[in-house]
Amino acid sequence: MKNDRMNSMKIQEIVEKTDGKILCCTDLDHRITYGFSSDLMSDILTLDPDNGIMITGLANIQALRTAEMADIHHILFVRNKEISEDLINHARDIGICLLWTRYTMFKTCGLLYNSGLKSAY
């Protein structure tokens, strides 16, 4: 268990590491173990997302639909994307936690990996 905690991060820790913000989330104490990033939603569908966070710059309904289909409960939008209220409300309705950062995908992934988040591969 101790090793598991060292290789996982709470939502608030992810936000702090990426200088981000929480757009909507119900379980701030949930621990994330894996990160995976892509703007190609077909790539996301090939993953086993258990306890992971999707990192993407695709800030539209397609990202939410992909997350919902793949049973992903956490999305971190990168590259300072503007996230609509409709998208936030829809995520809230289906129980997906949305985070946001102005950082690039490369920098975001590096920060989280260096902080102990594991790669999904």
pLDDT in tens, 76-97: 999 999 999 999 999 999 999 9
pLDDT at position 68 over 60: yes
> Does 4 have pLDDT greater than 70?
no
pLDDT of res. 3:
47
Q: What is the CATH number of the domain that holds 42?
A: 3.40.1390.20
Could you list the residue range(s) of the whole structural domain that residue 60 is in?
Answer: 2-119
pLDDT at 28 (0 to 100) = 81
User: What residues contact residue 82 under an 8 Å CB cut-off, 6+ apart?
Assistant: 59
Give me the number of domains the chain comprises: 1
Which is more confidently placed, 38 or 6? 38
With bands split at pLDDT 50, 70 and 90, how would you rate the model's confidence at 55?
very high
| Prediction pTM value | 0.91
